[in-house]
Amino acid sequence: MSQNEKILEVKNLKTYFFTNVGVVKAVDGGNFHLRKGQALGIVGESGSGKSVTSLSILRLVPKPAGRIVEGEILYRGEDLVKKSQKEMREYRGNKLFMISQDPMTSLNPVFTIGNQIGEAIRRRKKLTGHDLKEKIVEMLKVVHIRASETRAHAYPHQFSGGMKQRSMISMALACQPEILIADEPTTALDVTIQAQILKLMVEIREQYHTSIILITHDLGVIARFCDYVLVMYAGKIVERADVKTLFKGNRHPYTKGLINSLPHLGKKQRRLESIKGQPPDLLNLSGGCPFEPRCDYSVERCSVEYPPVESAGKGHLLSCWRWREI
């Protein structure tokens, strides 16, 4: 597969949660693709559908309430939506690997770090005994964990937050997946450790040509790490563009609001701007644009009819009735 070929295609993805009080359209018509070695960012406020998108790709949407009701998730042309859970176990870990926001939810507290990394290694390579122990120590050294021989016998609660995330990354390296999904991997970490984790992910991408989907609310992380960005709001992708276009030539009011809310070093500013109002109730969405109640550019049409996807340039797509006037 060449660097320009699509390794993953998501077509009209709809993932809904059926609750006692109504249907929550967590992801409502997602369309995007991922190329070999590409870093794709997904950004948006809490509840915008970022994490549910990643869980949908891995077929880990919580049941019985949640399910994929429509769409395709094509990995190398194979539709993952049609795969059984037994078949999906062959994809998870080997082809697709996810680093969660809180590594404690992924690491088993009753097994040592070395034991859990060893399990990941055994899934890909038939190593046992001394050879397996050496490989575990090697993987810990790759992610810059000091005293790896000793740390391999430690339990998750004996590791700091940054060390736990590095342990998860070492498992990903052991499995050598083609797609690494990182769901808010730096949120619970301090700024110094965040930088270290991002640097490590850059090394993984460059060395192994791994395709990465980075889910975050931090636009600074997006600017530093990603090639292409999806902006999500109320379960829909409202704007998508390469990272330079998104920051310099964005056209959707929601994207503008997110970027304008960032502080600027060296720029005198009395107070930070904010997006007025609150995110919408996904149980009570109108047929129009869900951002309309918070938008400074809205007109009557925005409240009754959802805008189609339009092109604002090469690879720059968005859904807004008034983007040409903004």
**Domain assignment of residue 229, yes or no:** yes
**Domain assignment of residue 288, yes or no:** yes
Digit-coded pLDDT (tens) for 174-205: 888 899 999 888 776 777 777 888 888 888 88
**Residue 2, pLDDT score:** 52
**Residue 168, pLDDT score:** 87
**Domain assignment of residue 189, yes or no:** no
- pTM for the model stands at 0.90
**Domain assignment of residue 51, yes or no:** yes
**Domain assignment of residue 30, yes or no:** yes
Amino acid present at 283: L
**Domain assignment of residue 85, yes or no:** yes
**Residue 269, pLDDT score:** 61
**Domain assignment of residue 259, yes or no:** yes
Q: Calculate the average pLDDT of the chain.
A: 90
**Residue 281, pLDDT score:** 92
Stretches in the chain below the pLDDT threshold 50 = 1
**Domain assignment of residue 289, yes or no:** yes
Write out the residue range of the structural domain in which residue 60 sits.
6-90+217-325
**Residue 116, pLDDT score:** 92
Domain count, the chain: 1
User: What is the CATH number for 280?
Assistant: 3.40.50.300
**Residue 267, pLDDT score:** 63
